[in-house]
Amino acid sequence: MTVEIIAPGPYATVQDFGRRGYAHLGVPRSGAADLPSLRLANRLVGNAEDAAAIELTFGGATLRFGRGGWVALTGAPAPASPGGMWAPFWVAPGRSLEIGAPYEGLRTYVAVRGGIRVPPVLGSMSTDSLSGLGPPPLTAGTVLDLGEPMFGLHADVAPQRPISAGPVVEVVRGPRDDWFTDDGFATLCAGAYRVSQDSNRVGVRLTGTALRRARAGELPSEGMVAGAIQVPPDGQPIVFLADHPPTGGYPVIGVVTTADLPKVAQLRPGDRLGFRPRRGG
């Protein structure tokens, strides 16, 4: 069983849960930028949650299933023919699945029953856009193998997660909030930010209220996590996503919660983003 990429859209990659346990060797975690959407898509077609699927950026893809396939689409909602979002559907042998541009959000996940199979690198099939590990981004003509289904098809329609073009996400303060002026964290939470054009799987670059440092000098390189809000000297924050570098030298003023990070991963250039302190500190 295979799926052939007729057109990948603006940017499409294979993603699973990423590479765990290699950050100290300079290897980014990578994996789906919106992990809950990958999990849901896999559940809908009876795959293990961590099976590899296709992550589309701005949709626009056409896929052909030589011998047919069960497919589920989650994440950024987009028109699809045949089928639709948040429910498994069958693509008949030889038929093409056409996915348009999403109505909202950025990343649409395409899970296929059996899961995408490419040679794993360090335990993951994910494309890492920063280090180049894993398969290259998908191009027209790429043929991907599929694995064996693990579970039966049980779900009919899953509840959809609303996508916001202007979310306010929760942030845990620190670890380097003391590198900023006294009101630095308050400034971040009161600030209005927009997503910049040069955002990608490494991070969402923001423009808006600048965060001023309380001290000069450089922070020695230290470990980084997904969701970290790193602030370069120009004061414009960057929220790290899946392909973030495992270490960095700019101070992190706060970290977006695990539950809210997928909202950040679905933002398009130009969208608004706000921050608020996590309830309970």
Q: Which residue's CB is nearer to another protein, number 84 or number 174?
A: 174
| Residue type, position 45, single letter | V
Q: Which residue's CB is nearer to another protein, number 44 or number 121?
A: 121
Q: Which of 245, 230, 239 is nearest to 30 (CA)?
A: 245
Task: State the minimum distance, in angstroms, from the CB of residue 127 to another protein.
Answer: 14
Task: State the minimum distance, in angstroms, from the CB of residue 137 to another protein.
Answer: 18
Task: State the minimum distance, in angstroms, from the CB of residue 34 to another protein.
Answer: 17
Task: State the minimum distance, in angstroms, from the CB of residue 170 to another protein.
Answer: 10
Please state, in angstroms and rounded to a whole number, the distance separating the CA atoms of residues 250 and 245. 12
Task: State the minimum distance, in angstroms, from the CB of residue 228 to another protein.
Answer: 7
Q: Which residue's CB is nearer to another protein, number 3 or number 52?
A: 52
Q: Which of 246, 262, 255 is nearest to 278 (CA)?
A: 255
Q: Which residue's CB is nearer to another protein, number 73 or number 211?
A: 211
Please state, in angstroms and rounded to a whole number, the distance separating the CA atoms of residues 280 and 257. 12
**Distant-in-sequence contacts of 213-221, Cβ < 8 A, 24+ apart:** 213/179, 213/180, 213/181, 213/251, 214/178, 214/179, 214/180, 214/181, 214/182, 214/184, 215/179, 218/249, 219/176, 219/179, 219/249, 219/250, 219/251, 220/249, 221/247, 221/248, 221/249
List interacting residues with another protein (CB under 8 A): 20-27, 121-122, 131-133, 172, 174-176, 220-225, 227-228, 245-247, 252, 255-258, 278
CB atoms within 10 A of CB 208: 18
Task: State the minimum distance, in angstroms, from the CB of residue 185 to another protein.
Answer: 13
Q: Which residue's CB is nearer to another protein, number 26 or number 93?
A: 26
Please state, in angstroms and rounded to a whole number, the distance separating the CA atoms of residues 211 and 190. 11
Q: Which residue's CB is nearer to another protein, number 98 or number 128?
A: 128
